[in-house]
Amino acid sequence: MVSAGDFRNGVTFEEDGNVLQVVEFQHVKPGKGAAFVRTKTKNVLTGAVIEKSYNPTAKFPTAYIERKEMEFSYEDGGLYYFMDPETYEMEPINASDLPDNFKFVKENMVCRIMSYKGKVFGVEPPNFVELQVTQTDPGFKGNTATNTTKPATLETGAEVRVPLFIEEGEMIRIDTRTGEYMDRA
Do 80 and 120 share a domain, yes or no? yes
* CATH code of the domain in which 144 resides: 2.40.50.140
Contact 142, 125 (CB under 8 A): no
Q: Which residue, 60, 85, 104, sits at the end of a domain?
A: 60
When pLDDT is cut at 50, 70 and 90, the band that residue 172 belongs to is: very high
CATH label of the domain that carries residue 55: 2.30.30.30
The reply to whether 119 and 133 lie within a common domain is no
122 - beta bridge partners?
114
**Of 19, 111, 29, 122, which Cα lies nearest the Cα of 63?**
19
Q: Containing domain of residue 93, as a range?
A: 66-124
The alpha carbon of residue 162 and the mean position of all alpha carbons in its chain are separated, in whole angstroms, by 23
In a shared domain, residues 50 and 88 = no
Rounded CA gap, 9 and 110, in Å?
26
pLDDT tens for 66-124 read 889 999 999 888 899 999 999 998 888 888 878 888 899 988 999 998 888 888 878 88
Looking at the structure, do residues 135 and 97 belong to the same domain, yes or no?
no
Among residues 60, 89, 106, which one ends one of the domains? 60
Q: How far apart are the first and last CA of the chain?
A: 47
Distance CA 29, CA 34 (A): 7
Non-local CB neighbours of 153 within 8 Å, separated by 6+ positions: 133, 134, 135, 136, 159
**What is the pLDDT, as a whole number, of residue 167?**
87
Cα angle for residues 46, 99, 39 (degrees, 5° grid): 40
Give the pLDDT band of residue 171 (cuts 50, 70, 90): very high
Q: What would the pLDDT profile of 22-43 be if each residue is shown by its tens digit?
A: 989 999 898 888 899 999 998 8
Give me the number of domains the chain comprises.
3
Sorting pLDDT into bands at 50, 70 and 90, what band is 143?
Answer: low
Please, are residues 89 and 112 in contact by the beta-carbon 8 Å criterion? no
pTM of the model: 0.71
Residues 50 and 74 in one domain: no
**Is 158:166 a contact under the CB 8 Å cutoff?**
no
Q: Is 76 in the same domain as 54?
A: no
Query: Helices H, strands E: what count in the chain?
Result: 0, 16
Over residues 3-18, the mean pLDDT reads: 87
Q: Dihedral, CA atoms, 62, 68, 72, 77, nearest 10 degrees?
A: -30
Q: Which candidate, 73, 42, 47, 67, places its Cα nearest to that of 123?
A: 67
136 and 179 assigned to the same domain: yes
